[in-house]
């Protein structure tokens, strides 16, 4: 039986000078410890759904695997909060070459770009997607409308894998990096080609978010929030189109504006 992704709590709401008791639906947090070849690798704090996608996407993002076929056995004990991954390779992992041990839902490891594992796994976009301006806005609206968890709680980030005119899959999580890792895991599990895809995202485009997109292999990121300056530098280096503040009827294009298909 899966863990609940939301919980109901009694709260007091202040509105127009009055305090009333109400029921509120909240996103839950779930610690998942990932064991790789029998050794503890990391603990992810996440929304407890699509956990296989999350773990596989995270391991791929960290450079532990590149393809699903590198995993010999995968099991999850949701009641205890453990994921067990046995790799085809029995070579012992050097934990210091990868991530720190606990990654919280507050979104990040705060690393600088071009650490060893980033160089191995970040991909420069060789084929690129072009998109109409109206589709940028339509995809953002569709992603938000598809996320029932966000509609019910307001407490999660959303990410969607899209073609130039269609949302293919949407994932939500309390951690913005987790939402992207779930997309990555989905692509690996279902062998989805990503060279002609883009990511639509609810959070800001930080350098780490941009790196996640590059590791997945897409050539464009559209967000309803702002990018950071380092993320834009990296987008230029990695040939990724970046769009921010995609809201209502407008957005900003920060890199590769020539890929917009203006009528």
Please tell me the pTM assigned to this model: 0.89
Q: Which fold has domain 30-119?
A: Ubiquitin-like (UB roll) (3.10.20)
Check pLDDT > 50 for residue 108.
no
Give the C-alpha separation, 137 to 157, whole Å.
18
Check pLDDT > 50 for residue 102.
no
Give the C-alpha separation, 186 to 57, whole Å.
8
Q: What is the pLDDT of residue 119?
A: 58
Q: What is the pLDDT of residue 126?
A: 85
Comparing 106 with 34, the larger pLDDT belongs to 34
- Structure token digits, residue 234: 């990296």
Give the C-alpha separation, 23 to 115, whole Å.
46
Give the C-alpha separation, 195 to 217, whole Å.
6
Has 107 been annotated as catalytic?
Answer: yes
Give the C-alpha separation, 161 to 77, whole Å.
28
Task: For the chain, count helices (H), then strands (E).
Answer: 7, 13
Rg (CA), the chain: 19
Q: What is the pLDDT of residue 55?
A: 98
According to CATH, the superfamily of the domain at 133-259 is Cytidine Deaminase, domain 2 (3.40.140.10)
If 0-12 CB within 10 Å is exposed, 13-18 middle and 19+ buried, where does residue 180 land? buried
**Active-site option among 46, 107, 162, 187:** 107
Percent of the chain with pLDDT over 70: 89
Nearest C-alpha neighbor of 51 from the set 84, 98, 97: 84
Q: How many angstroms separate the Cα of 70 from the Cα of each of 150, 188, 213, 229?
A: 34, 11, 21, 36
- Structure token digits, residue 104: 């919280």
Structure confidence at residue 129 as a pLDDT band (50, 70, 90): very high
Mean pLDDT, residues 50-61: 97
The model's pLDDT over 151-204, given as tens digits with 9 standing for 90+, comes to 888 779 999 999 999 999 999 999 999 999 999 999 999 999 999 999 999 999
Contacts of residues 249-254 at CB distance under 8 Å and 24 or more positions apart, as own/partner, are: 249/137, 251/133, 251/136, 251/137, 251/222, 254/227
Nearest C-alpha neighbor of 39 from the set 80, 82, 70, 79: 82
Check pLDDT > 70 for residue 87.
yes
Residue spans of the domains in the chain: they are: 30-119, 133-259
Q: Do 203 and 104 contact (CB within 8 A), yes or no?
A: no
DSSP line for 58-100: HHHHTTS-SSGGGEEEEEEETTTTEEEEEES--PPP-GGGS--
If 0-12 CB within 10 Å is exposed, 13-18 middle and 19+ buried, where does residue 259 land? middle
């Amino acid at each position: 039986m899966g863990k609940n992704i939301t919980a109901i709590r009694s709260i007091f709401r202040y509105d127009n000078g009055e305090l009333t008791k109400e029921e509120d639906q909240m996103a839950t947090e779930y610690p998942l410890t990932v064991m790789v070849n029998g050794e503890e690798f990391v603990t992810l704090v996440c929304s407890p759904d699509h956990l296989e996608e999350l773990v596989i996407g995270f391991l791929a993002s960290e450079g532990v695997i590149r393809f699903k076929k590198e995993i010999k056995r995968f099991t999850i004990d949701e009641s205890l909060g453990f994921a067990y991954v046995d790799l085809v390779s029995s070579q012992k992992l050097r934990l210091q070459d990868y991530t720190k041990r606990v990654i919280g839902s507050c979104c990040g490891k705060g690393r600088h770009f071009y650490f060893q594992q980033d160089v191995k796994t970040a991909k420069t976009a060789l084929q690129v997607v072009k998109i109409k301006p109206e589709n940028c806005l339509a995809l953002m609206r569709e992603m938000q409308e598809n996320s029932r968890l966000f509609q019910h709680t307001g407490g999660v980030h959303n990410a969607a894998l899209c073609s130039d005119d269609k949302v293919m899959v949407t994932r939500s999580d309390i951690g913005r990096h987790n939402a992207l890792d779930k997309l990555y895991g989905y692509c690996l599990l279902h062998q989805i080609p990503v060279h002609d895809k883009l990511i639509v995202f609810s959070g800001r485009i930080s350098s780490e978010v941009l790196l996640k997109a590059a590791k997945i292999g897409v050539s464009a990121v559209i967000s309803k929030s702002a990018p950071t300056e380092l993320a834009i530098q990296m987008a230029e280096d990695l040939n990724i189109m970046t769009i921010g503040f995609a809201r209502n009827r407008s957005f900003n294009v920060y890199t590769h504006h020539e890929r917009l298909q203006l009528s």
